[in-house]
Chains A and B, each alone.
Chain A
Amino acid sequence: MTERPARTTGSDRPMIRLEHLTKAYPRQPHPAVQDLTLDVPEGEIVVLVGPSGCGKTTTMKMINRIIEPTSGRIVLDGEDVTGADPDQLRRRIGYVIQQIGLFPHRTIAENIGTVPRVLGWNRRRIAARVDELLETIGMDPAVYRDRYPKELSGGQRQRVGVARALSADPDVMLMDEPFGAIDPITRERLQNEFLRLQSEVRKTIVFVTHDIDEAIKMGDRIAILREGSEVVQYDTPERILTAPADEFVSDFIGAGASLKRLNLSRVRDIELSRRPTVGEDATAEEALGVLRASSHPAVLVLDRQGRPRRWLGEADLKRADGRPLTSLGMPPEAVVEPHATLSDALNELIAASYSIATVVDGAGVYQGVVDIDRISDAIRAMRGHGRRPADTAAVEDGVHGPAGSA
């Protein structure tokens, strides 16, 4: 099984260090965060996950001082920022919340350019940065630059929220349930897009969620928290799933831990299955020949750029009657990209005709397919490799406080 890149290349230098952090709200019997010590290594996604009310949001908001800690220290990139000017500090930290909070009276370009403008960048530089970020999140600048938030879908708003947080190229991003309010299908897509983006930008990210599946998918490391922001286990997703520290963790992971492990490997990590293909200009007879020469029930029609167009069965081809291949059969419904997890692929292929997920690269070019055999191979391989991956050894050295003794 192949590791995700961030896990093998992230340095273990702590970018954020929380030291004995405590927050006691007035008139509350117990502190929301009690004596939390945690290191967040540079370039990694650390997920804070735990039941509602355990103190995740409070912990995160102390990092950018939206909430002032009662005691303890916050060290950012080696510098104690516990007493720093909060506004200056926040301009160095990207911030994404569940409700996104786009400014409704400002255009998409103005929203994304907020921090650069506050930092005094000149107009040309801001415009160039905005366009670059819109490209990055897959929204055509010419189309979206001058639109207003109300004209965007939920998924697009979320993308813009992420772009806005990245605008001044902060080293650190804080994300509080960023995909929490989005429908499951869009959420999945946004998660994948975000992981792809992160593999390029390599930010240090603190990511809050209450959803263990999301934690496993997004996290290079996961801190499982209970009330008072107590760290029960701080570990890689593999270790959390294969060696839960205690009953609280195993309960929190819940049933189906081995199925959850499908979240740990990605389509690009496994060998794809092949299917017969023909060009879109081929005749039905040619396609039929290709199909019969294979042992599969369907042939995939590719366009001139190599992108999948239709799946055709033998019956479709026999009824072709001279019509072009692209007007027959079924369009590929279950299309996944290489960074999708096997769990994504499984979900897709279950619902798809012929029970296969079609894999395409970023440009939409056909790569192969994932079928149920590949998934079971992967599950079998994971059982064989149930033990800790080598690179997690360093993680435990970085753990302080409660988890260290866990």
Chain B
Amino acid sequence: MHPGGADILDFLDFVWQRREEVLQRSLEHVGLVAAAVALSAVLGVLLGLLTYRNATARTAVIAATGTFLTIPSFALFVLLLGIVGLGTAPVVIALTMYGLLPVVRNTVTGLLQVDPAIVESAQGMGLSRRQRLLQIELPIAWPVVLTGIRVSTVVLVGIAAIGAIVNGPGLGHFIFNGLARVATPVAVDLVLTGIVGVVIVAILFDAVFTLLGKLTTSEGLR
């Protein structure tokens, strides 16, 4: 074992040597998560909008999307591999499935939390069902919905690393390469590169969400 300082310098040197690959994999990771988050956000909000008024429907949707999360990611990737093949597709599909629950749940919660008096006054003014939903209810529920999307992003950044098992893109490659070389000098550096990369990507996403929250939430709701 070297003293700590030298370890860190060795590690930084290791990353520097592979800077192009690290950058490339990080961008892949960001793109992968962004695509999956966008898909689960759109689908999740839609499912929430369609079901929140009906107790049976919303319970069913939350139960179903909750069940997805109990499937071990490793198993789900392999399962999807049989259907859509290797590469990006199985990973994006699996991540989208994992991302649904927080979005659906927060959409439903957010919409149900809107003061019924606000909805009734909108109705009384002659706003149509659609206008009420899109102009009043959803914007008021938005901070809660956005929190759901943010939670799902945090979850997906981590799970996305495992996508490398089916040859998916992203920082998972470093981790799996490290696993394949256990007990060699580079193993720890490889795994560490993957982990640090994932953490940095997660922090970046969080910063983006903070900004997004500021830009898309009405001042009146803060």
Contacts and interface: CB of A to CB of B under 8 A. Distances in A.
A105 B124 contact: no
A106 B122 CA distance: 12
A100 B121 contact: yes
Q: How large is the interface on A (under 10, 10 to 19, 20 to 34, 35 or more residues)?
A: 20 to 34
Given A104-B220, A114-B127, A97 B117 contact: yes
Contacts of A103: 118, 122, 136, 140
B183 interface: no
A87 B124 CA distance: 8
Given A97-B120, A100-B117, A100-B121, A87 B221 contact: no
A107 B139 CA distance: 13
A100 B116 CA distance: 11
Interface string B106-148: 0000000001011111111111100100001001101000000
A90 B131 CA distance: 14
B132 to A, nearest CB: 10
B20 interface: no
Contact of B219 (A102, A118, A148): A148
Contact of A102 (B118, B127, B131, B221): B118
B169 to A, nearest CB: 38
B67 interface: no
A105 B139 contact: yes
Contact of B220 (A86, A99, A105, A118): A105
Contacts of A149: 220
A95 B121 CA distance: 7
A118 B127 contact: yes
A107 B220 contact: yes
B220 A87 contact: no
Interface string A104-117: 11110000001100
Interface in A68-116: 86-93, 95, 97, 99-107, 114-115
B24 interface: no
A387 to B, nearest CB: 41
A92 B125 CA distance: 8
Nearest to B118: A101
Contacts of B218: 104-106, 148
Q: How large is the interface on B (under 10, 10 to 19, 20 to 34, 35 or more residues)?
A: 20 to 34
Contact of B124 (A90, A102, A104, A106): A90
Contacts of A148: 218-220
B20 to A, nearest CB: 46
A90 B139 contact: no
A91 B118 contact: no
B117 A118 contact: no
Given A97-B117, A104-B220, A64 B124 contact: yes
Given A101-B115, A150-B220, A66 B123 contact: yes
B140 A104 contact: yes
A97 B118 CA distance: 10
B123 A90 contact: yes
A44 to B, nearest CB: 21
A116 to B, nearest CB: 10
A148 B218 CA distance: 9
Interface in B178-222: 218-221
28 contacts: A64-B124, A66-B124, A87-B126, A87-B127, A89-B126, A90-B123, A95-B121, A95-B125, A97-B120, A97-B121, A99-B115, A100-B117, A100-B121, A101-B115, A101-B119, A101-B121, A101-B122, A103-B122, A104-B140, A104-B221, A105-B142, A105-B218, A107-B220, A114-B127, A115-B126, A118-B127, A161-B121, A164-B125
